[in-house]
Amino acid sequence: MEAIGVLMTFPISTYLEQELDKRFKLFRYWKFPLKIEFLRENSSSIRAIVGTGRVGGGADTELINSLPRLEIVASHSVGLDKIDLVKCKEKGIRVTYTPDVLTEEVADLAIGLILSTLRRICECDRYLRSGLWKKGAFKLTTKFSGKSVGIVGLGRIGSAIAKRAEAFGCPISYYSRSEKSDSKYKYYPNVIDLASNSQILIVACPLNDETHHIINREVISALGPKGVLINIGRGPLVDEPELVSALVEGRLGGAGLDVFEHEPRVPGQLFGLDNVVLLPHVGTATMETRKAMADLVIGNLEAHFLNRPLLTPVV
């Protein structure tokens, strides 16, 4: 299969690069500053795109249109917001992603964000390392166990988060497009009601046109000065300027964020706050999970080019 051209959009994984290199003619898109020229020269040999969930890492309309021989987009992510799915369906291009293998990892990080935000773990660690403990105790923080948790999106990741939060004695409620009849958790038909009734609000839904800025000023106000927002979904699920001003003005109690609207740019006003935890989109970033994701991408590509059933198709 070495002659098959595969375009990798973003340097998400050296292991994946290596494995793609062994099997295909790999083009590393990020190494070509002059994209138009690169495409003109190489587009006819590219039959697959390996995309990611990162900003700039997808297969948008423009890219798809410039690759006439594109047959498959294999995304190294479970999020599909960076792929023009409609265009792929239209052109008969297959799309695969990496569900399940990353569910636990992301759910773990959501709990980690809750604990480090509420208990100020990173601030405490900084306090100790700067020698301040010798001068006095760190201030009191607030308990996690028993606080009400509201989850936006009760898919694989949302459910895994709920299962973990239950072990901390947290009552769980959720919002999703439609109520899940076999769920034991309390359903709210809109995000504002969910936010009004939760102390911790977690964003775990896919990003699409309907969910863009689903966390807006009204939701943030409903969550309130004692509420905490956790985002392990996508940056654009949250109206970031609104979030920043709410945090700076004390209208929101705190936030644990793994994603931002314009990654890797993060609003500088957040850096001075002690009630936020800011992570560089590491939701799936462990050796174990990234290997499993890469293996799934490779597995899907091999299946496609060997005319076998795709492992995890979306389209």
Is residue 141 within 8 Å of 120, Cβ to Cβ?
yes
Contact 81, 206 (CB under 8 A): yes
Which of positions 268-297 make contact with other proteins (CB under 8 A)? 271, 277-282, 285-290
Choose, by CB under 8 A, the member of 143, 182, 184, 209 that binds other proteins.
143
Q: Which is nearer to other proteins, 112 or 254 (CB)?
A: 112
x/- track of binding to other proteins for residues 238-267 (CB under 8 A): -------------------------xxxx-
185 binding other proteins? (CB under 8 A): no
Task: Indicate if 263 belongs to the active site.
Answer: yes
Decide: is 133 part of the binding site for other proteins (CB under 8 A): yes
141 contacts other proteins (rule: CB under 8 A):
yes
Buried b (16+ CB within 10 A) or exposed e, 24-58: bbbbebeeeeeeeebbeebbeebbbbbbbbbbebb
Active site residue 281: yes
Active site residue: 234, 242, 290, 304, which one? 234
**Does 90 qualify as catalytic in the annotation?**
no
CB of 75 to other proteins, least distance (A): 17
The residue written with tokens 């990654």 in the block is: 263
Q: Is residue 83 a contact partner of residue 40, using CB atoms and an 8 Å limit?
A: no
Under 8 Å between Cβ of 42 and 24? no
Return contacts of 72-75, CB within 8 angstroms, 24+ apart: 72/47, 72/48, 72/96, 72/300, 72/301, 72/304, 73/48, 73/49, 74/48, 74/49, 74/50, 74/297, 74/300, 74/301, 74/304, 75/50, 75/51, 75/297
Shortest spacing between CB 315 and other proteins, in angstroms: 28
How many residues touch other proteins (CB under 8 A)?
A: 55
**Bridge partners for 169 per DSSP:** none
- Give the distance between the most distant pair of CA atoms in the chain: 68
Among 98, 116, 159, 300, binds other proteins (CB under 8 A): 116
Q: Does 38 bind other proteins (CB under 8 A)?
A: no
CB of 297 to other proteins, least distance (A): 16
Among 2, 37, 90, 125, binds other proteins (CB under 8 A): 125
Residue 128 touches other proteins, criterion: CB under 8 A: yes
DSSP state, 265?
B
Task: List interacting residues with other proteins (CB under 8 A).
Answer: 11-12, 104-105, 107-109, 111-113, 115-116, 119, 121-122, 124-129, 133-134, 137-138, 140-146, 163-164, 166-169, 263-266, 271, 277-282, 285-290
Could you give the residue numbers annotated as active site? 234, 263, 281
